[in-house]
Chains A and B, each alone.
Chain A
Amino acid sequence: MGEVKAKKTSDIKNTPDDEIPGVITTTTSAIHNFLKKSKAQDVINWGRKNSLWFMTQPMGCCGVEMIATGCAHYDTDRFGIIPRNSPRHADVMIISGYVTKKYLPALKRLWEQMPAPKWVLCMGDCSISGGPFYESYSTVQNIDEMFPIDVFIPGCPPRPEALIQGFVELQEKIKAKKDLGTEY
């Protein structure tokens, strides 16, 4: 994402033939790159961190806790965290279980269907290290090599409060411009 943008801006600088005298031409990515260096990015990040919609995609028993977090009792709306049923609506993907070799292509496809900016949370011991299934013939090891995971939430399964704390940590990372979902 960031490389493409950098390329486009450098193209504009290197090819003065395209420039019309008296008119400043620009592109959307050039504007984005300009905004990332300015104070406006703080305002944009403030908006992004307060609307972390996550995808309801339970993969194991942690998925039950994930659904419970999205229910009314914990009231995650106050953080702007809302469960969504479509990857097209979502900002956050929660890997909430062991990833089998058969499920990995589907998970990658869901990740590609989500519009940027997007973030990943690792929920539970299974997704962090394989959990009790780390020696299985059918699970994938080192899931953090395939997805830019921002927050690891340990637990088996973590309570909904722990998941909410993970979301808050992600909000802090976005606020501090340290998240892996966006390139600054």
Chain B
Amino acid sequence: MDARTIIESLSSEFPEAISESEVESEIRVRAYVAAEKAKETCQYLKDSLQFDHLCSVCGVDYPKRGEIEVVYHIASYEHPVVLMLKAKLPRDSPEIESVVPVYWNANWYERETYELYGLMFKNHPDLRPLVLPEEMLGEWPLRKDYEGFPNKTARNLV
């Protein structure tokens, strides 16, 4: 299964949801997916296109566009193609369906993306902070407009 057939199969299965799909090379493809169809797309990728390995889930903040993108990197144990699947979400209320029922290892990825960007993953089994303390919830430190960085170093140095 090569990159072009994967994109064609994906676009024909979800003609409204998949957009801006592109074959970057023989082993890298990328596509945007509508946020409400992300879970169904992942289910189709896993069941029909042998994309059985979720590499990462992360977020990208675009304050000028007022959008936050959630990025899934999905690969396979059967063929060498890596798919970068993106979904655009509104910045004031980013919400997307969790893919934990499809890929179980998305659990901790989504928890970390939630604590760093404030991306709400609906129907996540256990959405609480992973590595940040509980009291930092709501600061969303990896958003571009975060201003909670300390501007001083220890007194001993100066």
Q: Using CB atoms and an 8 Å cutoff, list the residues of chain A in contact with chain B.
A: 101-102, 128-130, 134-139, 141-144, 152
Contacts and interface: CB of A to CB of B under 8 A. Distances in A.
A102 B133 CA distance: 5
A102 B150 CA distance: 16
Interface of B: 131-133, 135-136, 139, 141, 146, 148-157
A134 B156 contact: no
A129 B157 CA distance: 7
Contacts of B155: 142, 144
B154 A101 contact: no
18 contacts: A101-B133, A101-B136, A102-B131, A102-B133, A128-B154, A129-B154, A129-B156, A130-B153, A130-B154, A135-B150, A136-B149, A137-B136, A137-B146, A137-B148, A138-B132, A138-B136, A143-B154, A152-B156
Q: Name B's interface SS.
A: loop
Nearest to A145: B155
Contacts of B133: 101-102
Listed residue (B135, B150, B157) with the most chain A CB atoms within 10 angstroms of its CB: B150
B156 A137 contact: no
Given A101-B136, A102-B131, A141 B156 contact: no
Contacts of B139: 137
A144 B154 contact: yes
Contacts of A144: 154-156
Nearest to A122: B156
A135 B152 CA distance: 8
Nearest to B151: A135
A144 B154 CA distance: 9
A134 B155 CA distance: 12
A102 B153 contact: no
